[in-house]
Amino acid sequence: MEGKTVVMTGVSGGLGARMARVLHAAGARVGLVARRAEELERMAAEMTGCVALPADLADPQAVDGLWARAEHELGPIDVLVNNAAYIAGGARAEEETREQIARTLDVNLVSAIRLGQCAFAGMKQRGHGCIVNVSSIAAVVGIGRLPQATYAASKGGLLALTREWAAQWSRFGIRVNALVPGFFESEMTAEVLRSEKIDSWVKSNVFLGRAGVPSDFDGAILFLTSDASGYVTGQAVVVDGGWTAR
């Protein structure tokens, strides 16, 4: 990753913050994208060469302006990691509001599509590039016990998008893959996993007997964004402790 430039969304907490720090430690300059400007500025101050790019990805105008800002601050972008995620507070499928559905799709899927389109032009011109879409096991198997229908749909869309972009863009030297996390400890899941009942249920469904922690994804994100995966495209790397192998 030495010398590479990366734009990563959803970096202000949990898995995203860890992945951004891992890529920076490996030598990358990272454009840090999330809504919380103060947190991004704090991270950028700690990570030499990285820049804060605050944006609300539910806002189409903010998304459209983000790539130009990133290129202005970092120069040509080598890697895009679409990691931003929003979930409608555990609402049951039949109770999700129009607003919850729209925000979930805008943040999780529509912004990823727009950023990928923005990334394409420069990556095509240079003849190389890498895109990683962070999906979820909710896109692969039904969860049910933790209601998240539109979230699952948005993450399933990312998997389909990964395959189709790879099919269309690989001839231009652009690799596109997906990272598929299982249950892991983060800001989003902390409250849920504090429940002894839910924690026990998660552990009973994971071969390795525990929820994941952000460091469990270090190797996968380094592999997918680096030249180590130079002959890999259109694939989904599942990091779930064995949940989907049942």
Res 194: pLDDT: 65
Question: Residues 127-149: what's their mean pLDDT?
Answer: 91
Closest residue by Cα to residue 152 from 136, 171, 169, 129: 136
Share of the chain above pLDDT 90, in %: 76
Question: Residues 141-157: what's their mean pLDDT?
Answer: 88
User: Would you say residue 164 has pLDDT above 80?
Assistant: yes
Q: What is the 3-state secondary structure (H, E, C) of 58-124?
A: CCHHHHHHHHHHHHHHHCCCCEEEECCCCCCCCCCHHHCCHHHHHHHHHHHHHHHHHHHHHHHHHHH
Q: How many CA atoms lie within 13 A of 210 on its CB side?
A: 5
Question: Residues 155-178: what's their mean pLDDT?
Answer: 98
Q: Which residues are annotated as catalytic?
A: 151
Residue 203 — pLDDT band, cuts 50, 70, 90?
Answer: confident
Closest residue by Cα to residue 22 from 243, 242, 213, 235: 213
User: Would you say residue 189 has pLDDT above 70?
Assistant: no
CA distances from 180 to 49, 126, 208, 220 (A): 28, 28, 17, 10
Question: Average pLDDT of the chain?
Answer: 92
The answer to whether 20 touches 33, Cβ cutoff 8 Å, is no
- Which amino acid is present at 24? H
Is the full-model pTM beyond 0.75? yes
Please report the domains of the chain, with CATH numbers, ordered by start residue. Answer: 5-239 (3.40.50.720)
User: Would you say residue 193 has pLDDT above 70?
Assistant: no
- Model confidence pLDDT, tens digit, residues 36-74: 999 999 999 999 999 999 999 999 999 989 999 999 999
